[in-house]
Amino acid sequence: MSRIVPFSILGLSAVLLAFGVSLPIMRFDQLYFFSSEPSLLQLVGELWGDGNFGLAIAVGAFSLAFPAVKLIALGLEVAAGEGRSQLLSQAMPHLARWSMMDVMLVAIVIFAAKTSGVATAVTLPGFWCYAASAVIAAIFPSVVKLGKTDRQSEKG
């Protein structure tokens, strides 16, 4: 597997992440008259603006910063190739452990809105782009390891 394929997959994941945080992730309908379609960026901004700094930081860290850092780390791992650094080798299992936390957080928000009875919530394309990015980033290390294993078996 050449390096073009892994970087293409990571590029797709990055584009999906950008769409996922900027497109509306859900539609809240309240009292049949009012509806809103916030994106993740808008949700974090509104939390911050309302004075919920801790929650804004938590949501921003797990839903915005963490996925971006994870994709950067995966890109560095691919770029390092066979001679990857010890830091990346140690960091990747920890990143993998938290890989779906970001999607879980968004799903909890949607679930809370649906069960509160105050509003109905419907998922929109932003959520699906966001989830697809997280799934690609979660399975990506296995695909890269499989490609490395195939190359090593061809050499031997």
**Interval 29-49: pLDDT, tens:** 776 677 778 888 988 898 899
Considering the entire predicted model, what is its pTM? 0.77
Model confidence at 16, pLDDT cuts 50, 70, 90, reads very high
If you ran DSSP here, which 8-state letter would residue 98 be given? Answer: T
Query: What is the spatial distance between Cα 114 and Cα 28, in angstroms, rounded to a whole number?
Result: 9
Percent of the chain with pLDDT over 90: 14
What is the longest distance spanned by two Cα atoms in the chain?
67
**Residue 65 structure tokens:** 């910063």
Rounded to 5 degrees, φ, ψ at 79 are -65, -35
Model confidence at 126, pLDDT cuts 50, 70, 90, reads very high
Q: Is 31 helix (H, G, I), strand (E, B) or coil?
A: coil
Q: What does the angle CA 68 – CA 22 – CA 57 come to, to the nearest 5 degrees?
A: 55
Sign of the dihedral through C-alpha 84, 89, 91, 95: positive
Query: What is the spatial distance between Cα 151 and Cα 156, in angstroms, rounded to a whole number?
Result: 9
Question: Which letter, b or e, does each residue of 7-28 get, where b requires 16 or more Cβ atoms within 10 Å of its Cβ?
Answer: eebbeebbebbebbbebbbbbb
Top pLDDT among 17 and 118 is at 17
Sequence ranges of the domains in the chain? 4-150
Model confidence at 148, pLDDT cuts 50, 70, 90, reads low
The CATH number for 4-150, chosen from 1.20.140, 1.10.1740, 1.20.5, 1.10.1610, is 1.20.140
Integer angstrom CA distances of residue 97 from 61, 93, 137: 16, 6, 12
Query: What is the spatial distance between Cα 130 and Cα 63, in angstroms, rounded to a whole number?
Result: 9
